[in-house]
Structure 1
């Protein structure tokens, strides 16, 4: 039997082949999309390295984070990219260190009294320029649906920088109230007395539930535990009894920490109930060290706003059940600048964003050691003191003065621009930065100072030199 193929039949066959190939391609694309892990990035505000029970705090209770940490990788030498809120968040979102975006602090760089400032500080930038490719924009280009639920602090609306949903985020650095009514234009008030941390978590759970069938990026930057100190009364009562007058601890702060922990637990349980936990990478981090006037960061020195360890060392947990099989504590120093490149590695994005951090994925999933590198913080401005006794700073007037800091291995060097003063510490034996080894290890001082100066030159980091005519050294 001869098969006669007419022109019409031939066209039909070709069309069928094209449709079949298209369907196969569509299935392949959809399958690749589904295989991309969901990303949950929890950023707590002002949570100190010493403020959770999984990091050894004897008073504040964080049972959910304790369980979470036992199922994940804990970095004991994790650092914020800056010692206060806005610059740290700008670094995390842009993947760039402070000289690139010029956000060094919150508000003016001329903090404290003019008569106490020897130098004219570098002007501060208030908003993250939209010319930067943010972490959210990069993930959006990889097929992710993105939500920012909580504090933004880098502009008026995160939806202009890669997020599809914004709940609660604006330029504001802290809430007017943790209890409804919130007086926040980007979140509807709940019932009177509703607690903001609970509300943000419920919004996050709704977002996860609505988007569980496709890859999502949930950025959950809680306002807590930033001031104003406001916790649930039952928890405040609990911690008042537990603290029993010990002035190292704060009952309202403890209540806020425990509420945060409870909500992290609710979020993780939701991922389990929806059966998507295995394919979800969770990053838990703080934006800077704890505020020393509220929470003592012992054994670390100082707190938020300082470039001693208490101001920049933070708790960090990363979990990804599908890929991270070994749960342990890692002493390798890392920084919040590493989050962006790590997540790009996770989603296999090979674009060159010229990021300042490195991917932690080989360390997390293959147990490969990272090559030793330097970590650098640059702060060419002033930040006034809060509580001279509790700040534990170099002097009673400022939490920090203009300077740069470098860590390499166990060594950490501080350089201050007003008088060229230097401090060198061996963090292996002196985590509290009490013994300045500047006279004993001139070789190490010279090595680190040269690296620091080279970094500033390459990154065009501004160093203030102009004298302030109002300065009164008395």
Structure 2
């Protein structure tokens, strides 16, 4: 598995890790000496605007503030410097649709039912030809049930925020049909398969083709004097990797191949759009009344010899697929701090936002309020789950379950669907690139983490 990475990539990553902490501390500056404090949660006259910024297919290493030697991300570096920033964040699964669904609901895929990107049933035949092969009749028919079940969930953040008078807007990636299925008041994605709707349609234009639609949404909310929730999930740095030529030329001399240069350039292109969004909110005088939350939906390691991703990243149970920095910025309310130890999850985003607004947390949420220091310290594990890209039932499609602790991570393959793979254990604090499986050396730790995983699944719903 590890041999699939080129030597030059391994060398670059390992070398960069040895200086990661020093680089990060320099960028964060004085923040490192001030422990995170729970933000003020008293009622205010005007609730804060909330902006979720989501990167699409980007490794946890691929930012300036995370120590990358070549990729430049000055706007996200600045956001990290001004945020409560967790460098050991995770998403519960390493594929777009289920990861995004977990971010907006605060629950695991096995609860919201969006297990992967496409649903198949016995007897389905996929048309492999053409770029729109997924528009065959089985997909909208099968996925309609998933969307219908998802639509019944009451824990999507836009639905919950209506209680506080929020307007909510969707831009960018959105797999669940029309934007209204998530409770958004307005959005760019129509989700009609007959018109090219699958994972964002018109929403995928944001960032790549300008930011005007997003700006108009903000203007509407301000004209109505309403707080807004903005879902900014651009199709960046996701393939196709077709960055502006000026950025490509910048990275070609630094990268081992053109494929890598294009990916690096896409990371900076995404960063530029983040700067444009934050600048617009600043120009409107709303920065101090806006909560920014950053996360990436899943990881990506670019192959050097073709345009595809490496098997250790997207769709894999490894940290190159699951790990992401997570940031929370509310100027004057959340103390900036670089946390390099605590384990946090994208599942924490919904309960943290609701806690900031003094709202009751739904019992079904799987995350915690990360501003509650006791809850953060008492957390003993995070969990993950990965399914087949084309899924049917939970048991029929489950590939892996994971447990992340301090300092160990267990990868537990499903014996039915992955019969030839073995359990793996890594010390992810000493071995962040998961180079050495230590499962045979620590059978007691393996067993303990297996039990934690099984316990976390006791309340899971029946297959559907």
Query: Normalized against structure 1, the TM-score is what?
Result: 0.73
Where do 1:289-438 residues align within 5 Å?
289-293=299-303, 302-363=312-373, 369-381=376-388, 402-418=399-415, 419=419, 421-438=422-439
CA distance in 2, matches of 1:301, 1:359: 33
Alignment partner of 1:377: what SS? Answer: strand
Is the aligned partner of 1:217 residue 2:229? yes
User: Which of the pair is proportionally richer in helix?
Assistant: 2
- The answer to whether the Cα contact below 8 Å between 2:64 and 2:74 also exists between their aligned partners in 1 is yes
- The answer to whether the Cα contact below 8 Å between 1:338 and 1:358 also exists between their aligned partners in 2 is yes
Where do 1:78-227 residues align within 5 Å?
78-108=89-119, 126-127=146-147, 129-133=150-154, 134-155=156-177, 157-168=178-189, 170=191, 184=201, 196-197=206-207, 199=209, 201-212=211-222, 213-227=225-239
Task: Structure 2: give runs of 5+ residues left out of the alignment.
Answer: 1-41, 126-141, 392-396
CA distance in 2, matches of 1:259, 1:382: 28
Query: Normalized against structure 2, the TM-score is what?
Result: 0.75
RMSD of equivalent CA atoms: 3.3
Alignment deviations for residues 263-307 of structure 1 (CA, whole Å, 9 cap, x no partner): 1111111222222111111011110112443799xxx99211101
- Residues 33 and 159 of structure 1: is their aligned pair in 2 closer, same or farther, counting only changes over 3 Å? farther
- The answer to whether the Cα contact below 8 Å between 2:53 and 2:295 also exists between their aligned partners in 1 is yes
* Structure with greater Cα Rg: 1
Which of 216, 229, 237 is equivalent to 2:249? 237
- The answer to whether the Cα contact below 8 Å between 1:147 and 1:219 also exists between their aligned partners in 2 is yes
CA distance in 2, matches of 1:326, 1:84: 30
CA distance in 2, matches of 1:248, 1:232: 14
- The answer to whether the Cα contact below 8 Å between 1:107 and 1:126 also exists between their aligned partners in 2 is no
Is the aligned partner of 1:253 residue 2:263? yes
Task: Structure 1: give runs of 5+ residues left out of the alignment.
Answer: 1-30, 115-122, 177-182, 188-194, 385-399, 464-474
- The answer to whether the Cα contact below 8 Å between 1:109 and 1:382 also exists between their aligned partners in 2 is no
Which of 282, 296, 305 is equivalent to 2:292? 282
Shift of 1:62: 0.9
Is the aligned partner of 1:456 residue 2:451? no
- Residues 36 and 208 of structure 1: is their aligned pair in 2 closer, same or farther, counting only changes over 3 Å? same
- The answer to whether the Cα contact below 8 Å between 2:352 and 2:370 also exists between their aligned partners in 1 is yes
CA distance in 1, matches of 2:442, 2:158: 44
- The answer to whether the Cα contact below 8 Å between 2:172 and 2:232 also exists between their aligned partners in 1 is yes
Counterpart in the other structure of 1:270: 280
- The answer to whether the Cα contact below 8 Å between 1:383 and 1:401 also exists between their aligned partners in 2 is no
Where do 1:23-62 residues align within 5 Å?
34-62=45-73
CA distance in 2, matches of 1:266, 1:295: 33
- Residues 198 and 460 of structure 1: is their aligned pair in 2 closer, same or farther, counting only changes over 3 Å? closer
Alignment partner of 2:377: what SS? Answer: coil
- The answer to whether the Cα contact below 8 Å between 1:380 and 1:404 also exists between their aligned partners in 2 is no
Counterpart in the other structure of 2:136: none
- The answer to whether the Cα contact below 8 Å between 2:208 and 2:235 also exists between their aligned partners in 1 is no
- The answer to whether the Cα contact below 8 Å between 2:81 and 2:336 also exists between their aligned partners in 1 is no
Shift of 1:220: 0.7
Alignment deviations for residues 74-113 of structure 1 (CA, whole Å, 9 cap, x no partner): 2110111210100101111122101112222111479xxx
Shift of 1:136: 0.8
CA distance in 2, matches of 1:153, 1:433: 31
- The answer to whether the Cα contact below 8 Å between 2:368 and 2:376 also exists between their aligned partners in 1 is no
CA distance in 1, matches of 2:68, 2:214: 28
Shift of 1:211: 1.9
- Residues 402 and 98 of structure 1: is their aligned pair in 2 closer, same or farther, counting only changes over 3 Å? same
CA distance in 1, matches of 2:165, 2:317: 38
Q: Bigger shift: 233-242 or 258-267?
A: 233-242
Shift of 1:452: 1.3
CA distance in 2, matches of 1:224, 1:353: 34
